[in-house]
Structure 1
Amino acid sequence: MRDDGRVRLAGRYAMVRNSWRPVARGELRPEGTGCRLTGTLRAPLPVLIFSAIWLGGVGVFFLIGLLATIAGLATGHAREAGGPAVVAAAGLGLFGLGAGLVGVCFALGRRDGDFLLDWLAGELEVVGYGGPSRSRPPE
Structure 2
Amino acid sequence: MMSADSPLKKPALAAVGRWIRIWLRGWRSEPLVLVSLLPVETVRARLIAGHTSYLRAAFMFGGWGEHRVIGRVGIRRVSLEAVTVGVRNSWRPVMRGHLEPDGTGSRLVGRLGWSPFVRAFSALWLAGVVCVFLVGVIHAAVSAWSGDVGGEVFVPCLVSLGFLAFFVGLTAWGIYAGRRDADYLRSWLTDRVQTADAGIPGYRPWRGETLL
TM-score, length basis structure 2: 0.55
1:118 aligns with 2:118: no
Deviation at 1:111, TM superposition (A): 2.5
Work out the percentage of aligned pairs sharing the same amino acid: 39
1:2 aligns with 2:74: yes
Segments ≥4 residues shifted beyond 3 Å: none
Residue 152 of structure 2 is matched in structure 1 by: 83
Deviations 1:60-91 (A, max 9, x none): 10111111112111221124xx3331111111
Deviation at 1:104, TM superposition (A): 0.9
Where does the alignment leave 5 or more consecutive residues of structure 1 unmatched? 127-139
**Pick aligned residue for 1:45 from 116, 119, 131:** 116
1:70 aligns with 2:70: no
The alignment's C-alpha RMSD in Å is 1.4
Residue 57 of structure 1 is matched in structure 2 by: 128
Where does the alignment leave 5 or more consecutive residues of structure 2 unmatched? 1-72, 196-212
Aligned positions, number: 123
Deviations 1:76-135 (A, max 9, x none): 1124xx333111111111111111111111111022222111111112227xxxxxxxxx
1:35 aligns with 2:88: no
Residue 13 of structure 1 is matched in structure 2 by: 84
Residue 99 of structure 1 is matched in structure 2 by: 168
Question: CA–CA distance in 2 between the matches of 1:93 and 1:48?
Answer: 21
TM-score, length basis structure 1: 0.82
Residue 94 of structure 2 is matched in structure 1 by: 23
